Amino acid sequence: MRVLGYLTEAAANELQLQGEDEDEDLETVNGSSQVRMKKTQVQLSSVDEGYKAKLSAFVIKDLSSASTKIDWNLMKDRWDHMKKIPFPTVSRKGGIDMLIGLTGDTMSLFLPEETIQGPPGDPVAVKTPLGWTAFGPDQMGSSVL
């Protein structure tokens, strides 16, 4: 199975996932290097468990250094069009545990089933097979996903 994402060591340990070490070329904006990473299988499901998929992921120490997690349940009351959306509360730790790559194999996970928009410049709520999320600027003017 092709690798389709990245998972933190903490999440892999919590889920008791096993895997094999592999040497892989890792390309970032700073260049490329060969690193040793564990490859594992992980079962994804939507919060309501109506959608399930299995994918292969590399386990790495941390994913959150370049990203910010937004709790849309805490912020949604700032916008009328988002107040009634049942955003899931997924991460208990406040960090990012998994990144899913955008490939032909995972494209269906990102396709909108429903979108709710407000005025131009406000965030947009999107329901995908994995549940509700939002993207766009927050009240501080930062772009968030």
Per-residue pLDDT of 106-132, as tens digits, reads: 889 989 999 999 999 899 999 999 999
Residues in CB range of 111: below 8 A, 6 or more apart: 128, 129
CA distance 41 to 17: 7
Whether 111 and 127 have beta carbons less than 8 Å apart is answered as no
pLDDT recorded at residue 141: 46
Q: Which two tokens stand for residue 74?
A: 């805490």
Per-residue pLDDT of 14-30, as tens digits, reads: 999 999 998 877 766 56
Per-residue pLDDT of 51-105, as tens digits, reads: 888 889 999 887 765 456 678 888 899 999 999 999 987 666 667 788 888 888 8
CA distance 133 to 88: 8
CA distance 77 to 26: 40
3-state secondary structure of 118: coil
What are the residue boundaries of the structural domains of the chain, listed by start?
A: 5-109
pLDDT reading at 37 higher than 90: no
